[in-house]
């Protein structure tokens, strides 16, 4: 039986990922951990990822064979407190990699489109390209991608990862990201019939609906390792849009929906430094990445689920 320890299990991705993994592998096959306590339907432990000793104890006691390390600060929050972000994002990752090396665990951690910067080609951004990010989050993500590659080549650890775009979900709201507007807009469309975007019209970013993101994690972890050329930091994207396009899509279902703009210079600068649309062909070729939702089908499902 697979035994998976998940860090950051109450975060935007973790909270849905744990449920999916428990459905596939069994409730007792997944140990959810987070820095705060929560009601859970399966094994749960409090874990501060900067405490490597505790992480080792929990993984060992649970008999884990897989580590899925999700705990991290997102881009906008990291910009508010860069030193804390470095300590949490890099300290947590180093601990997770070390525990995985010591216990020989298969390892997954996400990178992000935030690992790219203003000098990266903006359109059809290649898998292997210039990465000079200008945010603390981006610096953490590039360092993390390199560390995961290093643990594979130096220690033979089975590290895997993707570069996630903005993720959109109706279940758990994100916190502190630059792409969060594309989630908030659906909540506000239902609650108030209008939304004020902090990202300017015309700013394209890659996005993905959460079910596709969760499936991508499962598919990559189950993929034949001998076929993976890149292993870590696969570009994956399902769609690219700018604020007026998502607003237009919502208007098809809520005709009175109104969009205004009040641009936040910090998050706008981050968004401007990221690609418009990345190329996911390496992920498609190496492990069959295939997103099912586009902007239209995601909008139908988000509005439907949020109305319930």
Which residues are part of the catalytic machinery?
137
Nearer to ligand AKB, 103 or 269 (CB): 269
Nearer to ligand AKB, 114 or 144 (CB): 114
Query: Which stretch of DSSP H or E encloses residue 10?
Result: none
Per CB under 6 A, the list member of 33, 100, 120, 179 interacting with ligand AKB is 179
Taking the complex as a whole, the smallest distance from the CB of residue 25 to ligand AKB amounts, in Å, to 26
Tokens of 135: 């945010």
Q: Among 82-90, 96-104, 173-181, 189-197, which window interacts with ligand AKB (CB under 6 A)?
A: 173-181
For the record, the structure tokens of 1 come out as: 């039986």
* Alpha helices, DSSP H, located in the chain: 14-25, 52-62, 75-80, 82-85, 91-103, 136-155, 181-191, 210-222, 243-251, 265-273, 281-287, 295-307
The one segment of 124-132, 163-171, 187-195, 289-297 that binds ligand AKB by CB under 6 A: 163-171
Among 18, 29, 74, 259, binds ligand AKB (CB under 6 A): 74
Among 75, 89, 120, 232, indicate the residue that binds ligand AKB (CB under 6 A): 75
Residues ≥6 apart with Cβ < 8 Å to 294: 238, 239
What string of DSSP letters covers 175-197?
-S-STTHHHHHHHHHHHTSEEEE
Q: Report the relative pairing of strands 111-112 and 44-46 from DSSP bridges.
A: unpaired
Q: Between 27 and 134, whose beta carbon lies closer to ligand AKB?
A: 134
Number of residues that bind ligand AKB (CB under 6 A): 11
Candidates 101-109, 161-169, 196-204, 228-236; binding stretch for ligand AKB (CB under 6 A): 161-169
Give me the helices (H) in 63-209, please.
Answer: 75-80, 82-85, 91-103, 136-155, 181-191
**Residues between 188 and 247 that touch ligand AKB (CB under 6 A):** none
Under the binding rule (CB under 6 A), the answer on residue 138 touching ligand AKB is no
R_g of the chain, CA atoms, integer Å = 19
Q: Cα angle at 231 between 208 and 2, to 5 degrees?
A: 85
- Chosen residue from 15, 89, 178, 203 binding ligand AKB by CB under 6 A: 178
Is there binding between residue 113 and ligand AKB (CB under 6 A)?
yes
Identified binder of ligand AKB from the candidate list 114, 144, 243, 275, rule CB under 6 A: 114
Q: Which stretch binds ligand AKB (CB under 6 A): 20-28, 109-117, 210-218, 296-304?
A: 109-117
256: how many CB neighbours lie within 10 A of its CB? 8
- C-beta closer to ligand AKB: residue 205 or 221: 205
Question: Which residue number is nearest to ligand AKB in terms of Cβ?
Answer: 177
- Write the CA distances from 218 to 80, 125, 158, 213, integer angstroms: 32, 24, 14, 9
Minimum distance of ligand AKB from residue 271's CB (angstroms): 8
Residue 109 makes contact with ligand AKB by CB under 6 A: no
Angle at 241 between CA 121 and CA 264, to 5 degrees: 85
Residues that bind ligand AKB (CB under 6 A): 74-75, 112-114, 164-166, 177-179
């Amino acid at each position: 039986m697979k035994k998976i320890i998940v860090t950051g299990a109450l975060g935007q991705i973790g909270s849905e990922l744990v449920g999916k993994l428990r459905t596939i592998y069994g409730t007792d096959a997944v140990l959810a951990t987070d820095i705060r306590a929560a009601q859970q339907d399966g094994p749960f432990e409090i874990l501060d990822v900067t405490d490597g000793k505790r992480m080792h104890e929990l993984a060992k006691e649970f008999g884990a064979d897989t580590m899925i390390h999700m705990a991290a600060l997102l881009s906008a929050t990291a910009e508010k407190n860069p030193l804390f972000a470095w300590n949490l994002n890099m300290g947590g990752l180093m601990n997770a990699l070390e525990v995985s090396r010591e216990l020989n665990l298969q390892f997954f951690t996400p990178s992000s489109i935030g690992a790219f910067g203003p000098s990266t080609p903006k359109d059809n951004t290649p898998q292997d390209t210039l990465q000079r990010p200008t945010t603390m989050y981006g610096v953490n993500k590039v360092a993390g991608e390199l560390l995961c590659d290093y643990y594979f080549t130096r220690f033979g650890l089975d590290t895997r990862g993707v570069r996630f775009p903005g993720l959109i979900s109706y279940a758990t709201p994100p916190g502190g990201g630059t792409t969060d507007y594309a989630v908030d807009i659906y909540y506000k469309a239902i609650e108030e019939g209008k939304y004020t975007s902090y990202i300017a019209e015309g700013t394209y970013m890659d996005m993905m609906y959460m079910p596709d993101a969760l499936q991508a994690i499962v598919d990559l972890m189950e993929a034949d390792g001998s076929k993976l050329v890149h292993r870590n930091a696969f570009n994956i994207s399902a769609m690219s849009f700018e604020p007026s396009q998502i607003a237009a899509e919502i208007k098809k279902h809520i005709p009175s929906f109104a969009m205004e703009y009040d641009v936040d210079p910090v998050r706008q600068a981050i968004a401007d430094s990221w690609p418009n649309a990345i190329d996911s062909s390496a992920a498609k070729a190496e492990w069959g990445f295939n997103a099912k939702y586009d902007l239209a089908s995601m909008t139908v499902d988000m509005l439907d689920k949020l109305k319930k």
